[in-house]
Amino acid sequence: MIEVLSNGAPNLIQDAGRRGHLGFGVSRSGAMDSLALGVGNALVGNEPGEAAIEISLFPFRAKFERDQDFAVTGADCLVRLDDVRQAPWWGRTARAGQTLIVERPKRGARAYLCLGGGVDVPSVMGSRSTDLKGAFGGFEGRGLRRGDSVKVSAGARSANRSVGLGVVPSELPSFWTELSSGVVSVRVLPGAEYQAFTEDAKRALADSEFEITPESNRVGYRLSGSALPLSRSMELLSHGIVPGTIQVPPSGQPIIQLAEANTCGGYPKIATVFEADLWKLGQAPIGCRIRFVLSDVEEAVEALRHRTAELSKVQQTLALMSQRG
């Protein structure tokens, strides 16, 4: 169990998401950065989708009430256990009474505190993720507050853990470089209404940069940039949408649906972000610029296959390191 020492309503319990319920109007929720969640869980010996604390308001402070394996991944943050600086993307064991501090990121937007055994909150519709719109799941359907006690699985065992990757996931160094430049590239597929947009709109989508505005959250990022007009007026019935869908309302300014994406909508869809690239958006802060790279289904499938294989390799490597340790 850990005690939260800092207020932070945006800090939430999230896992791999609540899948299979879009047809009932229930969004997927889950971690905005699935890569950080998966690697963080591997570092403490969990399955990739176990529930963790998604931190997006800093500094975050928590006190360990028992010996506990933990790892902090995601944004480029200074992490301290008591007054001792901790290596990033590394599994450690905290002792009862020690305090963890996760400082404001130098790069990125969200950090993940993964705990050996996983966060123990009730599973709702097959997931422990917080659904803020529905006010259910996670920790009482809300963000964490000072004084909250977050339970860890009763079956969790603490070891004298010190295990890390030695290197971060393969995509991270180039992503940090992009973040430092203020422009992040994500690959997209043409959307269902792509052909209904003007040629100027298609060129703008591929050649322009779009800024993440303050009117953005876990539901979606509202972007500001070149207008993306339709070639003709169109009326659509509301229809199903998923995380990654890029809609264009009458203003011509795109909206990217994210982890808590609306389950349906009627705006035309110009493109869809690769599933394998959504984690980058989860780490892109307000004011960051997004560049879209048009691609095809084959590359989207291969990118997801590569991500799955890399995470599996990380799990196997860390398991061997733990056994040898």
**DSSP sequence for 83-97:** TEEE-SSEEEEEPTT
Q: Which of 43-57, 157-171, 199-213, 250-264 has the lowest mean pLDDT?
A: 157-171
**Stated pTM of the model:** 0.94
Cα–Cα distance, 105 to 258 (Å, whole number): 21
Q: What does the pLDDT average to over 62-88?
A: 95
Cβ atoms 70, 94 nearer than 8 A:
yes
What's the pLDDT score for residue 155?
61
- Please, which contacts does 302-309 make with residues 24 or more away whose CB atoms are closer than 8 Å? 303/187, 303/274, 303/275, 303/276, 303/277, 304/274, 304/275, 304/276, 306/276, 307/35, 307/276
Angle, vertex CA 114, rays to CA 301 and CA 109, nearest 5: 70
The letter for the amino acid at 23 is: G
Task: Quote the distance between the C-alpha of residue 315 and its chain's center.
Answer: 19
**pLDDT tens column, 223-247:** 999 999 999 888 888 889 999 999 9
pLDDT category at 279 given cuts 50, 70, 90 is very high
Residue range 144-153: mean pLDDT, rounded: 96
Domains of the chain: 2-169 (no CATH), 175-294 (2.40.100.10)
Under 8 Å between Cβ of 14 and 52: yes
Closest CA to 36 of 179, 168, 187, 181: 168
pLDDT at 167 over 60: no
Reported as a single tens digit per residue, the pLDDT across 283-312 is 999 999 999 999 999 999 999 999 999 888
pLDDT tier for residue 319 given thresholds of 50, 70 and 90:
confident
Element (H or E) spanning 179, and its range?
Answer: helix 172-181
Rounding to the nearest 10 degrees, give the CA dihedral for residues 76, 82, 86, 92.
-120
C-alpha count within 13 angstroms, C-beta hemisphere, residue 72: 24
The mean pLDDT value for 114-142 works out to 96
pLDDT at 316: 83
Q: Name 166's Cβ contacts closer than 8 Å, sequence gap at least 6.
A: none
At residue 43, what is the residue type?
L
Burial status of residue 45 (CB atoms within 10 A of its CB: 0-12, 13-18, 19 or more): buried
Whole-number Cα distances in Å, 90 to 60, 69, 81, 298: 18, 10, 13, 34
Give percent of the chain with pLDDT exceeding 70. 94
Structural contact between residues 118 and 51, judged by C-beta atoms closer than 8 angstroms: yes
What sign has the CA pseudo-torsion 176, 177, 179, 184?
A: negative
Q: What are phi and psi of 92, to 5 degrees?
A: -135, 165
Q: Inform me whether the pLDDT recorded for 141 exceeds 90.
A: yes
CA distances in angstroms from 174 to 189, 204, 266, 296, 318, listed in the order given: 22, 24, 36, 22, 23
